[in-house]
Chains A and B, each alone.
Chain A
């Protein structure tokens, strides 16, 4: 017991005695081993996530090839300003998250909390913009299965007068919106999980954790956050930017 408290003290002063660090779980030999295991586990988890989204991306690829005009018309109805704004918000949040990891590594608690709060606010901001967009699509009858009508694609729009589709093609926009809601929905679900985890971590940091050299949870949450960000980087062009130049 004595040696444990001693180790905790040396950890606080910056001299980590690896073998006796208080956060070292009993089945690991050393702190680096524990940290490597956690990081490797996180990367593997992200691989499963890639496969999970992969099924959706694969479906998207097939249907976009089959029903290209419908996908173009569907994409033109999205608010490009909202997509751009959200892309910016997420990229900035990735930066703040990276800074949070840096703050944890340098063991500066106030900076860590600051960057985490910034990330949290940006994440919530993203979700608000997304909710606003979804609401708009509901109003426009663009939600497949629940509230869908192809009427808006029969006559073209002000911005894109060429989007005049025959009825059978207009019906196919339903698949575009199915994939749109599936992909952005799954992404938003990951954002909600991320925001929740971030809140928990924030409370723990307030209680004094993760600034004593035990940065793995913050670091791995950072990996998760960047992953969710990268998914969006793919979703934005695939869903919002189909043939915008015409």
Chain B
């Protein structure tokens, strides 16, 4: 039962005496915690670390590409550096970042639960993630791997003598972390919702995390078995991928992309969930077409399983299956466009304020649209044959992954930072960083579309001199982008101690997570909340502002 309390005024807000952050002290209380909020913080720390390791690799790549010759890095070192960049960024940053950090923190809060369904498994999945990451880092220290993040056979099984086995095992271990996280979220969303929290009262954030979790559970085991086969092929030569023994290298591609294409949606769907929340809050409106947005998440999740062979158009798959996969790939544009249109429609006639999360959100919508549409180019076979394995592909997936996912994650991190820490980040710094990030990103990756269109292949340390101007642009942009990422690291850390006290609901946002104190109590809700209204009820919130807004606790 919810008690009626007045919403604390932000200017006089004080930090709550007891919260999940200060209930217990000491390293042990963090490393053995079963609290989903603390586990989210553990993930945030580990993932930030991996992000900057991967970012350092990216810096090396851009430095090398400043000139046409191979001067900074030798060709085989360059191969190892871009492989490390890919492996770290895909498996240890993009895949876990939004689910494990924001999802862990927010899913129980948003549905009115005291924790995820299996807290111990949640902690276990963090340890698996860190173990997998340590295997990768050790592997890199002892010589690295140069297969690229895709482990393409027969290159990875027969022609290299780098640490393929260790790299594959690291991903295998981290994969179980994904599986367990997805499983935990699914059970939590199904079984732990507060009374009255029906499926269509759920925030859209939950819907997109639901689709994400399904992909985790269904796709990750397939890459696990694919990597096991690569390892066995290398160690004892089982022959499944070896044409000399009757095996087929293309089989690996099928198994690998059966995971890795849906994984792309693991990287973008949570971002879409974040954007739905932020758009609604900063336009003071219910998200336009709630049901359509909810089901488009599910549709993206389902479609994602039937498009994988678009990575193999030039690898000799039959032209009929290529045709079907090409069509299916284009179909994914439909649910994605539904989301973009609905967010735009939400903004139409909304009272928009341009706080940092909203700036990131606007950046996301623009960059994701470009990234998504170039994906449709690549889905059409004629274009793909020209563009595949060029910088066009690199630019495309960086627009979706970095321009889309990372920007959305930044939006979410800023939006819920007051809830996570109880303090505000410096708003003006936030806005500056958001603009720097957007500028730097476009400067880095837009030239790569042109480079790719002109035919510059990816994964080479050297290139013809006529491509230099655009590469210099790209490298210069990467410097700006780096500032855009370092700045939040600095001021967010600063705000932990010196930020303004946020109060329970600094954004006047709707949603169960804003009705409890920030930072929340360990048990989240002192009394189980009863949900009586739909998500994003901003009109109701506006009319009842002040003394009548119910907050729990």
Contact = CB atoms under 8 A, between A and B. Distances in A.
Interface of A: 25-29, 33, 36-37, 40-41, 44-45, 47-49, 51-56, 58-59, 62-63, 66-67, 70, 144-146, 171-172, 174-175, 178-179, 181-182
B309 to A, nearest CB: 14
Contacts of A145: 232, 236-239
Nearest to A36: B191
Given A47-B218, A63-B247, A146-B236, 12 more contacts: A26-B523, A28-B192, A41-B187, A55-B255, A59-B251, A144-B236, A171-B245, A172-B245, A175-B246, A178-B238, A181-B238, A182-B229
A146 B236 CA distance: 6
A33 B118 CA distance: 12
Contact of A37 (B191, B220, B245): B191
A41 B238 contact: no
Contacts of B238: 144-145, 178, 181-182
B408 interface: no
B169 interface: no
Contacts of B229: 55, 59, 182
Interface string B428-458: 0000000000000000000000000000000
Contacts of B247: 63, 175
B196 to A, nearest CB: 13
A52 B246 contact: no
Contacts of A41: 117-118, 183-184, 187
A157 to B, nearest CB: 21
Contacts of A174: 239, 245-246
A218 B221 CA distance: 25
B226 A62 contact: no
17 contacts: A36-B191, A37-B118, A37-B187, A40-B187, A41-B117, A44-B187, A44-B217, A48-B221, A51-B218, A52-B224, A52-B225, A66-B246, A171-B246, A172-B246, A175-B240, A179-B240, A182-B229
A52 B117 contact: no
Contacts of A62: 248, 251
Given A67-B246, A171-B245, A54 B222 contact: yes
Contact of A48 (B183, B184, B254, B523): B183
Contact of B114 (A27, A175, A181): A27
Nearest to B238: A178
B497 interface: no
B186 interface: yes
A74 to B, nearest CB: 12
Interface string B184-200: 10110011100000000
Chain A's interface: helix, strand, loop or mixed, by majority? helix
A70 B247 CA distance: 13
A49 B528 CA distance: 35
9 tightest CB-CB pairs across the interface, nearest first?
A145-B236, A27-B115, A55-B225, A52-B221, A145-B237, A51-B221, A27-B114, A178-B238, A37-B191
Contact of B237 (A27, A144, A182): A144
B114 A52 contact: no
A70 B245 CA distance: 12
Contacts, number: 111
Interface of B: 113-119, 179, 183-184, 186-187, 190-192, 217-222, 224-226, 229, 232, 236-240, 245-248, 251, 254-255, 258, 523, 528
A29 B465 CA distance: 67
Given A145-B237, A182-B232, A48 B246 contact: no
Given A47-B217, A49-B221, A40 B190 contact: yes
A59 B240 CA distance: 8
Given A33-B191, A145-B237, A51 B219 contact: yes
B119 A51 contact: no
Contacts of B186: 40, 44
Contacts of A178: 238-240
Nearest to B226: A55
A175 B226 CA distance: 16
Nearest to A172: B246
Nearest to B247: A175
Given A41-B118, A56-B225, A48 B179 contact: yes
A136 B426 CA distance: 71
Contacts of B220: 48
Contacts of B113: 27
B168 to A, nearest CB: 14
Given A48-B221, A52-B221, A55-B255, A40 B191 contact: yes
B255 A45 contact: no
Contacts of B222: 51-52, 54-55
Point out which of B179, B186, B224, B239 has the most chain A C-beta atoms below 10 A from its C-beta.
B239
Contacts of B119: 25, 27
A118 B190 CA distance: 36
A184 to B, nearest CB: 13
A40 B220 CA distance: 19
Contact of B192 (A37, A52, A56, A172): A37
A216 to B, nearest CB: 12
Point out which of A37, A48, A56, A145 has the most chain B C-beta atoms below 10 A from its C-beta.
A48
Contacts of B115: 26-27
Contacts of B224: 52
A185 B247 CA distance: 19
A153 B237 CA distance: 20
Contacts of A56: 225
B218 A37 contact: no
B62 to A, nearest CB: 37
A45 B220 CA distance: 12
Nearest to A47: B217
A59 B190 CA distance: 34
Point out which of A45, A145, A179 has the most chain B C-beta atoms below 10 A from its C-beta.
A145
Contacts of B232: 145, 182
B248 to A, nearest CB: 7
Contacts of A179: 240
B446 to A, nearest CB: 38
A88 B118 CA distance: 36
A196 to B, nearest CB: 17
Contacts of A146: 236
Contacts of B236: 144-146
Contacts of A37: 117-118, 187, 191-192
A64 to B, nearest CB: 12
Contacts of A172: 245-246
Contacts of B239: 144-145, 174-175, 178
